[in-house]
């Protein structure tokens, strides 16, 4: 059974990112936007791990952890504090108030994965052995499998791609504009580019046209991933301009990884 992690976070962007990462680690994520809702979900579902922001609307994270520690079924559940306002001495204060660990925001993706693996309990398998339950599907090797450039004008989407791909051994470069992406491509020569289609300044069609016009870059395969331009005319246009794949978002993470491996010849 997949482990359950409760995220108590009022920032929608942070909550979505953590939930996405937890899913990629094989966890079931519950999300609460405030402390009262978090306490209610914890009492109802008895999660294996609680990640709780300190600054919350209504009751704060310290009151959340105080209430949860009083619940008999939750006294030993690991609880990790998340805060964007870290100051000297905060570590000791947070631990004294009932948390087991502490992580500053914005969240470092690699550190987040390590923290989740560290604090989720080990489960007993059918054969009687114990197994860790929160490791990513693939650990990043010392040398990257390939360098992938992601182009999207929404930072959250870029972080989601980084959170999915880096644990699988890929080096991920990110760009929020067509100009940044072209400059990075010329500098680093990635093996694959994943691009959004509809963007605030320019679009994926303009980008791939410029890419294919550059002799140094025209060999790089482009995977279009779009949630808005999904009519057949847009798909045909993207493929006619040279895209190797034109996929609809949201896409199951395992299917996206399979498409990437196929494009990279792995």
- Pair 161, 246 in one domain: yes
Per-residue pLDDT averaged across 49-54, rounded?
95
- Could you give the count of Cα atoms lying within 13 Å of 247 in the half-sphere of its Cβ? 18
124 in a domain, yes or no?
A: yes
Q: Which of 77-86, 191-200, 222-231 has the lowest mean pLDDT?
A: 77-86
Question: What length does the chain have?
Answer: 266
Antiparallel, parallel or unpaired: β 130-131 and 123-124: antiparallel
Task: Identify the domain containing residue 157 by its residue range.
Answer: 147-264
Distance, CA of 116 to CA of 50 (rounded, Å) = 10
What CATH number is given to the structural domain containing 220? 3.40.50.2300
Number of domains in the chain: 2
Per-residue pLDDT averaged across 218-238, rounded?
93
The count of other CB atoms within 10 Å of the CB of residue 29 is: 21
Preceding amide of 124 cis, omega within 30: no
Q: pLDDT tier at 132 (50, 70, 90 boundaries)?
A: very low
Residue 112: what pLDDT?
84
Per-residue pLDDT averaged across 128-152, rounded?
63
Q: pLDDT tier at 94 (50, 70, 90 boundaries)?
A: confident
Distance, CA of 244 to CA of 191 (rounded, Å) = 13
41 in a domain, yes or no?
A: yes
What percent of the chain has a predicted confidence (pLDDT) above 70? 89
Q: In the chain, which residue ranges form alpha helices assigned H by DSSP? A: 12-24, 35-45, 61-70, 90-96, 109-119, 155-165, 178-188, 204-212, 232-240, 253-264
Q: Which of 94-98, 105-109, 192-196 has the lowest mean pLDDT?
A: 105-109
- Exposed/middle/buried for residue 114 (C-beta within 10 Å: 0-12, 13-18, 19+): middle
Candidates 163, 258, 181, 252; CA nearest to 220 is: 181
Q: In this predicted model, what pLDDT tens digit does every residue of 154-188 receive, in sequence order?
A: 887 888 888 888 888 899 999 999 999 999 999 99
> Angle at Cα 158 formed by Cα 252 and Cα 149, nearest 5°?
95
- Pair 94, 10 in one domain: yes
139 in a domain, yes or no?
A: no
- Pair 15, 101 in one domain: yes
């Amino acid at each position: 059974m997949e482990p359950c992690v409760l995220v108590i976070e009022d920032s929608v962007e942070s909550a979505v990112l953590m939930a996405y990462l937890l899913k990629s680690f094989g966890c079931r994520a519950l999300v609460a936007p405030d402390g009262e809702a978090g306490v209610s979900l914890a009492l109802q579902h008895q999660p294996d791990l609680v990640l709780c922001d300190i600054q919350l609307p209504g009751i704060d994270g310290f009151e959340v952890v105080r209430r949860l520690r009083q619940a008999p079924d939750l006294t030993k559940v690991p609880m990790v504090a998340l805060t964007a306002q870290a100051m000297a001495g905060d570590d000791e204060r947070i631990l004294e108030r009932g948390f087991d660990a502490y992580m500053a925001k914005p969240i470092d993706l690699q550190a987040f994965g390590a923290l989740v693996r560290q604090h989720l309990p080990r489960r007993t398998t059918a054969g009687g052995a114990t197994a860790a339950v929160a490791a990513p599907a693939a650990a990043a090797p010392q040398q990257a499998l390939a360098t992938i450039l992601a182009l999207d004008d929404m930072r959250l989407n870029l972080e989601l791609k980084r959170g999915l791909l880096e644990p699988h051994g890929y080096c991920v470069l990110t760009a929020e504009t067509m100009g940044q992406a072209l400059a990075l491509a010329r500098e680093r020569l990635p093996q694959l580019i994943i691009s959004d289609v509809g963007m605030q300044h320019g679009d994926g069609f303009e980008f791939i046209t410029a890419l294919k016009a550059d002799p140094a870059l025209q060999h790089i395969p482009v995977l279009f991933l779009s949630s808005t331009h999904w009519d057949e005319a847009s798909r045909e246009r993207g493929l006619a301009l040279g895209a190797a794949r034109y996929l609809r978002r949201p896409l199951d993470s395992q299917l996206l990884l399979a498409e990437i491996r196929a494009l990279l010849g792995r």
